[in-house]
Amino acid sequence: MIVTGSRLRQIGWAAVFIVCLAAFTLLTFRVNAVKADVQHAERNIVQLERTKTLLETEFQTRANQQQLSDWNDVEFGYRAPRANQYLENERQLASLGEPRGVGAPAPIRVAHESAPKESTLIAMVSPLTGESASSEQEELAERPSDLGERLSLVDLLPEAPSLNNPSITAEASE
């Protein structure tokens, strides 16, 4: 069998095409492998930067602790608490207390004023209503402040309709 020239050329072109396709596939795999390596390297860089920041913060914190310790030794003289300084219960705490001495001053007491003082400031007027703030304060002063007085006013309020009232439920169902 003799193969003609055109048939041989077709087989040649098919072989070249297959070789190019194989080279393209291998090159694509190689590019994807390099991209994966680059992404892996970038993740490592980000992780190392975070670790570096963490270590820098730790170093600065420990340096501050050393400085505070030096100040404490020189300036303040504080010491860390020891195990025997902790109390187990309230009775131990109470046993540490001592009664006031004979010449000790009385404890300081703070005065509390229950009634508000009249202000010497100019009354503020609302730009919307034209009423002064003192009229609102007068309304508040007229309201009973004692719980007993407020509860006595509950009887004066009109009764709200009960939900169990059959006339109301009939109207709602219509």
pLDDT above 90 for 171: no
Question: For residue 135, what are the CA distances in angstroms to 56, 88, 99, 114, 122?
Answer: 62, 58, 52, 20, 13
How far, in Å, CA of 163 to CA of 169, rounded? Answer: 7
What is the mean predicted confidence (pLDDT) over 48-52? 94
Residues constituting the chain: 174
Q: In this predicted model, what pLDDT tens digit does every residue of 3-40 receive, in sequence order?
A: 677 888 999 999 999 999 999 999 999 999 999 999 99
Q: In this predicted model, what pLDDT tens digit does every residue of 51-79 receive, in sequence order?
A: 999 998 888 888 788 788 777 777 777 77
Q: Supply 82's token pair.
A: 């020891």
When comparing pLDDT for 93 and 134, which is higher? 93
When comparing pLDDT for 47 and 109, which is higher? 47
When comparing pLDDT for 158 and 56, which is higher? 56
- What letter would DSSP give residue 89? S
- What letter would DSSP give residue 130? -
Residue 125 has phi, psi (to 5 degrees) of -115, 135
